[in-house]
Structure 1
Amino acid sequence: MMSEDPQPTSFHSMKTSPPIIALARRGFTLIELLVVIVIIAILVSLAVPAINSVMLKAQVLKIKTTMKDIQVAIGHYRTEYNRYPIDASSAGGESDLDPFLTDGNSEQTINILMSNVDTSGASTNMNPKQIKFLDLPLAKNNQFGIVDPSGGSNDGTPVQLVDNWGLPYKIALDTNYDNRVQNPDKSNADQTISSQAPEFLGQTTAIYSFGPDRTEFTKDDIVSWR
């Protein structure tokens, strides 16, 4: 007896289906990768300005808080000693003392408020009760805080108070005691600020930072009065 021939293989059954696993593992094409990169670049370009804006607002807030602390400390000092924390020969006269930097060179206001004074000279000690009216952090990388050449010895060595960009603040005081100081905004290069600024500020202390551009009297100055 002859065996039956096996069933012929159909043409369709000979076709092979695409490997499912191979399709699943297929990588991105070059065009798809470029599209993804472009999308990521667009998202980053949109996010960076927003992040920078948030960081700048945080820096401005820190500086304004520091300026407020200095104003309060000066007020407390005046209540205690009935004078400003500056060299005694600087006060008085018909005009206010010119605004000075917190670099420790012209006036040692920050030293006096922090009770970092040389106690050996009784006649020149501007904080004889050694009251600490102001407490500020040490600067990191010479930015935002106290730069102390003495290394913290608290021996009266002039210190500097710098802002986030490593520059000293500027302080204006009512040293002729008429309850006002000249408005630095009148010298601002931005006409939208200077044109609307009054000649005087009705306060006894005004403080400002030169801002991110590190230039005085420009739009980005950070000030205590507005």
Structure 2
Amino acid sequence: MKKSHALEWSIVGAVLAVGLAFAIQKQSSFVWRSNRTPPDKATMKGLEIAIKGYQIEYNRYPLATTEEKESVMLSEGKLLKVLMADDDEHNPRKVLFYDPIAARDGKGGYLLDSAGAPSLVDFYGQPYRICIDYDGDGEIIDPHSKDEKQPNTLSSGVIIWSGGKDGDPTTWKDNLLSWQ
């Protein structure tokens, strides 16, 4: 009789141990996912590092001219070709500064349009907005500066933002910003 109770308790203990191990694994996986960087934020940081890498290699920002000041451009076309070593004029050393992941279903990565032009899109399928400090003063006008709580300029060489879920880069409540 005592042996059967001991066996039953051993089985109950084993079942509880397996259940507890499974629960701990699921909980730690959930915590890991909630703490990781959002994919769009990681993409923006990778693009920023690529642009700054180009600046270090060539002692100028990509597509810079002598008269250019900060202006907003999209993450597509010539800029991506330069950073991906597909433009001999602006990247004659053919340095690969950026190697993005492919988009899935037209969202969250690199894709080519029907004419073969490259584009880097966020997880909502919209290109990122990029502003580069072409005049070299170390400041970029904050595109969100209409809000009085934000400064008028940002101390940065490159800023990037996503239009967010609504796809509108001028509605700031859902935009993902590289500088925050």
Matches within 5 A, 1:159-178: 159-178=118-137
Structure 2 counterpart of 1:206: 159
Q: 2:117 aligns with which of 138, 158, 174?
A: 158
Task: Count the aligned residue pairs.
Answer: 147
The answer to whether structure 1 residue 134 and structure 2 residue 98 are counterparts is yes
Matches within 5 A, 1:1-226: 61-86=38-63, 88=64, 91-93=65-67, 96-104=69-77, 108-117=78-87, 119=88, 125-149=89-113, 157-187=116-146, 194-218=147-171, 219-226=173-180
Q: Counterparts of 1:158 and 1:176 in 2: how far apart (Å)? A: 28
Q: Counterparts of 1:60 and 1:98 in 2: how far apart (Å)? A: 27
Q: Counterparts of 1:146 and 1:196 in 2: how far apart (Å)? A: 34
More strand by share: 2
Structure 1: which 5+ runs fail to align?
1-53, 120-124, 152-156, 188-193
Q: Counterparts of 1:58 and 1:158 in 2: how far apart (Å)? A: 35
Structure 2 counterpart of 1:20: none
Q: Deviations over 1:35-63 (max 9, x none)?
A: xxxxxxxxxxxxxxxxxxx9xx7997111
TM-score normalized by the length of structure 1: 0.60
Higher-Rg structure is 1
TM-score normalized by the length of structure 2: 0.74
CA RMSD of aligned residues (A): 2.3
SS at the partner of 2:164?
Answer: coil
Q: CA deviation at 1:96?
A: 2.0
SS at the partner of 1:160?
Answer: strand
Q: Counterparts of 1:73 and 1:147 in 2: how far apart (Å)? A: 18
Structure 2: which 5+ runs fail to align?
1-30
Q: What letter matches 2:61 in structure 1?
A: Y
Query: Is the 2:124–2:165 contact (alpha carbons within 8 Å) kept by the matching residues of 1?
Result: yes
SS at the partner of 1:171?
Answer: strand
% identical equivalent positions: 32
